[in-house]
Chain A
């Protein structure tokens, strides 16, 4: 809380920290259930000329940023996002909705070219219950490849290339890809249009193109210099003092959520059965704190296989801490 107050003083803002943990085996993501959590914090904070969100995430649901940014803007005219480290994918979408993105030296954004999964996606050959994600840009890249490099450019030839694709990916999965192709571009444009001083139409189109298809790899990590100079996002370099405060706060969360160690239930088991409760996400402001908690049971099973460990998650969700 002390660091949050110091950052608020340095920025003359009110701060909400949102961390989706990426601890191996027990991570969390941006999802609609966080909206109600933010509402509680915002109601306690009230309106303020500048509200900041400190964000650490590898991404998640692409529709949540739209709702979240709108909700925060009900309480402020100016939204800032502080990025100490990772704000990938739908985290980058939240940044698009901000008037300023404060990035330190370790700050990273990511492309907004999501992979989509639904029940019609191709089956994972090594696991019959799993579905392979399909990256939206990969599908469009395949058709671009057919024309640009293989010279398959006539309607008839492209039709055949498309039919070939449909033999490997279910038509409804392809429909889902196209819907999301349009959705992500529309969301990005609409989020930028929420700025106090939105850029002109050509600049918006350039930002959206850069983040959706011009980076060529979903894992591309966008540092602050690239975000500012090449993609033309409203990036702000923090003072040394502010950068240290923001980084120290990130380190506190990383330590609290044990982000650098995999969650290994076997280590919890000293007897044949053990209950556990692990925190894997945080929303915190000076007035309230919420945690995403997994609760479950670890059991050692000696029959039919000796020494087998079963882990059952019995409850999971956001819990009010303060």
Chain B
């Protein structure tokens, strides 16, 4: 998961104006591995020791107040 919520100035200084690019975290759905126990980490993390029958990857909408501008 990338976390690029910083402000990147590209140095395009022109008569005192600085062009600023905002980079927001992606809108993509988050995925979770559902196992038999209490653990519920992101599917981006692997469990080498647990069998495939004990897991199910479940997508979940990320809940955040952030409302990034439309992409494109």
A interface residues with partner B (beta carbon < 8 Å): 20, 24-34, 60, 117-119, 124, 126-127, 129-133, 262, 264-265, 280-281, 292, 294, 296, 310-318
Contact = CB atoms under 8 A, between A and B. Distances in A.
B58 A26 contact: no
A119 B56 contact: yes
Contact of A127 (B36, B39, B59): B59
B44 A311 contact: yes
20 contacts: A25-B41, A25-B45, A32-B37, A33-B38, A34-B38, A117-B58, A124-B29, A126-B29, A127-B29, A130-B43, A130-B57, A133-B60, A264-B3, A294-B39, A296-B45, A312-B45, A312-B47, A313-B45, A314-B49, A316-B35
Contact of A33 (B37, B41, B43, B58): B37
Nearest to A296: B45
Contacts, number: 92
A311 B58 contact: no
Interface string B1-19: 1010000000000000000
A316 B37 contact: yes
A132 B37 contact: no
Contacts of A292: 38-39
Given A25-B1, A126-B29, A127-B59, A311 B46 contact: yes
B48 interface: yes
Contacts of A117: 34, 56, 58
Contacts of B35: 316
Contacts of A262: 1, 3
Contacts of B3: 262, 264
B41 to A, nearest CB: 5
Contacts of B40: 27-29, 60
Interface string B42-72: 1111111100000011111000000000000
B54 to A, nearest CB: 12
B31 A130 contact: yes
A26 B41 contact: yes
A127 B31 contact: yes
A20 B40 CA distance: 10
A294 B48 CA distance: 13
Given A311-B46, A312-B48, A281 B38 contact: yes
A28 B59 contact: no
Contact of B41 (A30, A119, A294): A294
Contacts of B49: 314-315
A313 B38 contact: no
